[in-house]
Amino acid sequence: MKDKPKLTFEELLEKIKTYIQDEKQLDMINKSYEFASIKHKGQKRLNHTDYIKHPLNVAYILASINADYQTICAALLHDTMEMCGVSKEELEDNFGNEIASLVDGVTKINRLNYNGDTESQVANHRKILVGLTEDVRVIIIKMADRLHNMRTMYILDEEKQKANAKETLEILVPIAHRLGMNKIKTELEELSLRYSKPDVYFGIVERLNKSKNERNKYVEDMMDEVSKILNEHGIKHEIKGRAKSIYSIYKKLDNGKRFSDIYDLLALRVFVDTEADCYQAMGLIHSKYRPVPKRLKDYIAMPKSNMYQSLHTTVFGKDGNFFEIQIRTYEMDRVAEHGIASHWSYKEKGKTMLQDTMEEKLQFFRNIMEIKENDTDEEQFVKDVKGDILNDTIYVYTPKGDVIELPNGSTPIDFAYRVHTNVGHTMVGAIVNEKIVPLDYKLKNNDIIKINTNKNQVGPSSSWIDMAYTSSARNKIKAYFNKIDKEQYLKKGEEIFISELRKRKLSYNEFASDDNLKKIFKELKIDNLNDLYIGIGNNKYSPNQIINIITNDNKTKEQILIDRVVNKETNDDSNNKGDVVVEGIDNIKVSISKCCHPIPGDEITGYISSGHGINIHRVMCPNIKDLDERLIKVHWNDKTDQKYSTYLLVHATDNKEILFNIVAKTANTNMVVKSINTINNEGKYIFEVKVSVTNLLDLNKFMNDLKNISNVTNVERVIK
Ligand code: MN
Residue 102 CA to ligand 1 center (angstroms) comes to 13
Alpha-carbon dihedral of residues 680, 157, 176, 324, nearest 10 degrees? Answer: 140
The predicted pLDDT at position 155 comes to: 86
pLDDT at residue 222 greater than cutoff 80: yes
From the CA of 107, how far away is ligand 1's center (Å)? 9
Fold assignment, 9-111+134-196? Hypothetical protein af1432 (1.10.3210)
- Answer whether 45's CB lies under 8 Å from 152's CB: yes
Report in angstroms the alpha-carbon separations of 197 from 161, 165, 247, 623, 703: 11, 10, 11, 17, 21
pLDDT, residue 229, reads 95
Could you count the other beta carbons within 10 Å of the beta carbon of residue 552? Answer: 8
Q: DSSP of 24-35, one letter per residue?
A: HHHHHHHHHHHH
Say how many Å lie between the CA of residue 675 and the centre of ligand 1.
27
Tell me what pLDDT residue 58 has: 97
- Helix-then-strand count for the chain, H and E: 28, 20
| Least confident piece of the model among 251-265, 468-482, 553-567, 574-588 | 553-567
Distances (CA, A) of 14 to 54, 310, 685: 18, 32, 39
**Distance of alpha carbon 482 from its chain centroid, rounded?**
34
pLDDT value of position 111: 65
Q: What is the 682 CA–ligand 1 centroid distance (Å)?
A: 18
**Ligand 1 centroid, distance to 5 Cα (angstroms):** 14
C-alpha pair distances (Å), 43 with each of 5, 53, 572: 14, 10, 27
User: How many angstroms does the Cα of residue 524 sit away from the middle of ligand 1?
Assistant: 21
pLDDT of residue 182 exceeding 70, the answer is yes
CA of 560 to the centre of ligand 1 (A): 29
User: How far is ligand 1, taken at its centre, from the CA of residue 54, in Å?
Assistant: 7
Interval between CA 78 and ligand 1 midpoint (Å) = 6
Spatial contact of 299 and 308, defined as CB atoms under 8 Å apart? yes
Percent with pLDDT over 70 in the chain: 84
Class of domain 206-342: alpha beta
The CA 39 to ligand 1 mean position distance, Å, reads: 14
Mean pLDDT over residues 512-527, rounded?
85
Give the mean pLDDT of 99-111: 85
Q: How far is the CA of 55 from the centre of ligand 1 (A)?
A: 6
Amino acid 317: pLDDT: 83
How many A from CA of 52 to the centre of ligand 1? 10
Res. 471: pLDDT tops 70: yes
**Dist. CA 89 → ligand 1 center (Å):** 20
What is the distance in A from the centroid of ligand 1 to the CA of 718?
Answer: 22
| Res. 264 pLDDT band, cuts 50 70 90 | low
The Å distance, Cα 193 to ligand 1 centre, comes to 21
A 10 A CB-CB count for 232 gives 9
Q: Are 180 and 340 in contact (CB under 8 A)?
A: yes
Q: Per-residue pLDDT averaged across 73-92, rounded? A: 94
Going from the Cα of 79 to the center of ligand 1, the distance in angstroms, rounded, reads: 6
Residue 58 alpha carbon to ligand 1 centre in Å? 8
Q: What digits encode the pLDDT tens for the residues 194-207?
A: 999 999 999 999 98
The rounded Å distance from CA 36 to ligand 1 centre is 12
> Measured between alpha carbons, how far is residue 12 from residues 16, 72, 137, 383, 633 in Å?
6, 10, 19, 39, 35
Q: pLDDT (tens digit, 9 = 90+) per residue, 646-703? A: 999 998 887 777 888 888 888 777 788 888 888 776 677 888 899 999 889 889 999 9
Residue 713 CA to ligand 1 center (angstroms) comes to 28
The Å distance, Cα 556 to ligand 1 centre, comes to 28
In angstroms, the CA 244 to CA 314 distance is 14
Report how far ligand 1's centroid is from the alpha carbon of 145 (Å).
5
CA of 342 to the centre of ligand 1 (A): 22
Q: Which residue has the higher pLDDT, 609 or 496?
A: 496
419 Cα to the center of ligand 1, angstroms: 36
Average pLDDT (165-178) is 84
Q: Are 676 and 562 in contact (CB under 8 A)?
A: yes
- Which of 71-75, 526-530, 596-600 reaches the highest mean pLDDT? 71-75
- What average pLDDT does the chain have? 82
> How much distance in Å is there from the Cα of 229 to the middle of ligand 1?
49
Residue 441 Cα to ligand 1 middle (Å):
45
If pLDDT is split at 50, 70 and 90, which confidence band does 630 have? confident
Contacts 24+ apart (CB under 8 A), 302-309: 304/180, 305/393, 306/177, 306/178, 306/179, 306/180, 306/339, 306/361, 307/180, 307/335, 307/339, 307/354, 307/357, 307/358, 308/180, 308/182, 308/335, 308/336, 308/339, 309/335, 309/336
CATH number attached to the domain at 644-717: 3.30.70.260
| Cβ proximity of 205 and 259 under 8 Å | no
Q: What is the pLDDT of residues 444-469, one digit of tens each?
A: 888 899 999 988 777 888 889 889 98
Q: Examine the pLDDT at 357 and tell me if it is beyond 70.
A: no
Average pLDDT value for residue range 174-189: 87
Q: Of 58, 48, 54, 59, which is closest to residue 84 (Cα–Cα)?
A: 54
pLDDT of amino acid 513: 84
CB 161 within 8 A of CB 153: yes
CB 183 within 8 A of CB 337: yes
Ligand 1 centroid from CA 192, angstroms = 18
Question: Per-domain residue ranges for the chain?
Answer: 9-111+134-196, 206-342, 479-554, 558-636, 644-717
pLDDT of residue 561: 34
pTM, full prediction:
0.67
Rounded CA-CA distance 228/277 in Å is: 15
686 with 651: CB under 8 angstroms?
Answer: yes
Strands 590-592 vs 614-618: parallel, antiparallel or unpaired: parallel
Span 533-550, mean pLDDT?
A: 80
Of the candidates 53, 60, 51, 3, which has an alpha carbon nearest to the alpha carbon of residue 29?
Answer: 60
Cα of 93 from ligand 1 centre, angstroms:
22
Give mean pLDDT, residues 92-115: 82
What is d(CA 50, CA 29) in angstroms, rounded to the nearest whole number?
Answer: 20
Q: How far is the CA of 61 from the centre of ligand 1 (A)?
A: 12
C-alpha 21/C-alpha 214 separation (Å) is: 44
**pLDDT at site 223:** 92
> Is 691:645 a contact under the CB 8 Å cutoff?
yes
Ligand 1 centroid to Cα of residue 251, in Å, is: 30
| 537 Cα–ligand 1 center, Å | 35
Beta strands in 485-555 (DSSP E): none
The pLDDT, as a whole number, for residue 201 is 94
pLDDT at 624: 83
Q: Distance between CA 166 and CA 174 in Å, rounded?
A: 12
Q: How does pLDDT run across 395-442, given as a tens digit for each residue?
A: 788 888 777 878 888 999 999 998 888 899 899 899 998 889 999 999
* 131 alpha carbon – ligand 1 mean position (Å): 15
pLDDT (0 to 100) of residue 581? 84
CA of 57 to the centre of ligand 1 (A): 10
Whether residue 56 is predicted with pLDDT greater than 50 in this model: the reply is yes
What's the 117 CA to ligand 1 centre distance in angstroms? 21
> Strand locations in 470-610, DSSP E?
580-582, 590-592, 604-608
The whole-number pLDDT of residue 38 equals 96
Query: Using an 8 Å Cβ cutoff, are 688 and 647 in contact?
Result: yes
Q: What separation in Å is there between the alpha carbon of 357 and the centre of ligand 1? A: 30
Cα–Cα distance, 338 to 183 (Å, whole number): 6
CB 433 within 8 A of CB 447: yes
- Highest-confidence segment of 68-82, 346-360, 511-525: 68-82
Q: Which residue has the higher pLDDT, 665 or 89?
A: 89
Q: Is residue 333's pLDDT more than 70? A: yes
H or E stretch at 405: strand 403-407
Task: Show Cβ contacts of residue 41 under 8 Å, excluding neighbours closer than 6 positions.
Answer: 52
Contact 396, 445 (CB under 8 A): yes
| pLDDT recorded at residue 602 | 92
Buried b (16+ CB within 10 A) or exposed e, 42-65: eeebebebebbbbbbbbbbbbbbb
Q: Is residue 41 very low, low, confident or very high in pLDDT (cuts 50, 70, 90)? A: very high
Pick the more confident residue, 538 or 344: 538
Identical fold, 206-342 and 644-717: no
Cα of 46 vs centre of ligand 1, distance in Å, is 12
Residue-wise burial string across 604-627, b where 16 or more C-beta atoms lie within 10 A, e elsewhere: bbbbeeeeeebbbbbbbbbbbbeb
How far is ligand 1, taken at its centre, from the CA of residue 63, in Å? 16
Residue 557 has pLDDT above 50, yes or no: no
Comparing 85-94, 547-556, 672-681, the range with the smallest average pLDDT is: 547-556
Q: How far is the CA of 183 from the centre of ligand 1 (A)?
A: 20
Predicted pLDDT at 586: 72
